[in-house]
Structure 1
Amino acid sequence: MAKDIDGSAGVPQFYGKELRYHREAAGLTLEKLAEGSFFGIGLLSAIEHGDRRMPRELAQHVDHRLGTDFFTRRCEDVREARRKGHAGYFERVLEAEKQALTIEEWSPTLIPGLLQTEAYARTVIGAERLQELPEETDEKVNARLARAQLFEDNHRTPEYWVILPETLLLNSILPPQQMAEQLDHIAALVKRGRIFVQVIPWNAGAHPLMQCNIMVLDFADAPPLVYMEGQHHGQTVDDPGLVKQYRRSYDLLRAVASPLETSLAMIEAAAEEYRNGAHPARLERRELA
């Protein structure tokens, strides 16, 4: 018996529940509903569970097969609901990271969004000094924190590798106690086996990808994707040649980074310093065995 879908959880879940209802009412399996389209049953199943949005071409196909017009009319509502609190240019990555087998990220200036605590996310978002209502800021913060459910949910978790510069550990944008909590959060995910983190020592010298941050996503049934982001824009790259070059640069960067165990020790040592009330400017750079 198929597991019921909670249509009250949000617009994508309601949309998915309606899809299953109309499909089953028409006596169609996922395979039958997909026939005649360029889309697979995996995508339809994910849509029914509210995990993927429906492309307009698929919505038109579904409406034709089911004799409805609901899915074409409402697919844009689902799209808007899924990216609520996120910039429009981030939409492709927001969906892709849930389907990825592996995510590899290099973040030279900020703790990545997938790892941010509420205090860190609120500080980063608030730095823009936008004239917006508190509830608008809350929406952005909550949307960012919701991405981190990727590591909490019971379903399959992507293999997430992240490389951070040691300067991010030493130069905090938060009060000491909140920074300790941010670093504790990262360390806890590492120790639970949910993520892999490597740290580039502050004195490592020149290294690859000094000029940009990147996210490399690999999939089981689609070509890899690279995402880069600036202050007010984001760019996805799927050209095979460029993706290959960025992956090579990332692999070279990983070779410069400290091993996993050493990196975890660096994170925990910095967290302890903050917890003891040390100001970032007074943190001692110490050699870790």
Structure 2
Amino acid sequence: GDIESIKNTIINLRKQKADIDILIDLPGNKIRTSGISEAIQVEKDKDFSLKIDQFNYKEFYKLVKPGMEVYANDSVFLFIVKEVNDKEIIFTSKSTGLLLNNKGMHVRNLHDNIPFLFEKDKELIKLCNEFDIAYVGASFVRKASDIQELKQVLHSNTKIISKIETLEAVNNLYSILQEVEYILIDRGDLSTEIGIEKIPRFQNYIVEMAHHNAIKVFLATQILKNMEEKPIPTIAEIDDLYNIAKSGVFGVQLSEETAVGHYVEECVKILNLIQDEINNEKIIL
């Protein structure tokens, strides 16, 4: 949402519970679609274009070249850059569906020349400082110096949760862990960089490294994906959630399940049920 609506949300939350701990999630330097008022229909092997001002980073066109692969909306879509000019980027879609506003447009190994904090991040950091926010989520951290840069502009009493969602962050994991008390594994964005088949192995490695360094771990992305549209999870989701909890993960973050899903309360109940099941485990003979 916009800054004013986020500010009003904070005020309303504090009215209901004065001592509530609030987390503000910085969007980070992720390239996203912007200013798209109506969903764009894309079809497999068909071309479509996006204007330069339909990206949140207007210099994006300078960084991409024909032939580059773009993973959109947590790898739901794959686009191939066909043509680039200073007015638009033309893509060939390898997927069929609706491309919406504010969806990620990820190109691997592209962020070296992109600033760590975008303007929206800086505005939200001011809000964090103004309202003494308890936690801030740092998105698309790639190295320890990114956290150090954030610390320079953020009040010291705000705890930083460093998101691990890039291959570079995994490669620099030890040094990042020295800068924070919490990390969050974003499986969606990480999968666009390493490949979805590698997520279980990388997830286990990150959790083990965090535990070894006494860092608390949150896990996110498709925790209860089925419950966006249905009142119960799949057996696979329950199994995944159980194993997550047993692995010593500190907490999970629901995303679309509670942001746009139809069964918010039911999602929370399922999380509590799994935790209760683990707490009350007995061997059945």
TM-score > 0.5 by shorter chain:
no
Rg (Cα) greater in structure: 1
**TM class, shorter-length:** under 0.3
- Which protein has the bigger helix share? 1
- Please state which structure has a larger fraction of its residues in strand: 2
Q: Which has the higher contact order (CA 8 A, sep 6+)?
A: 1
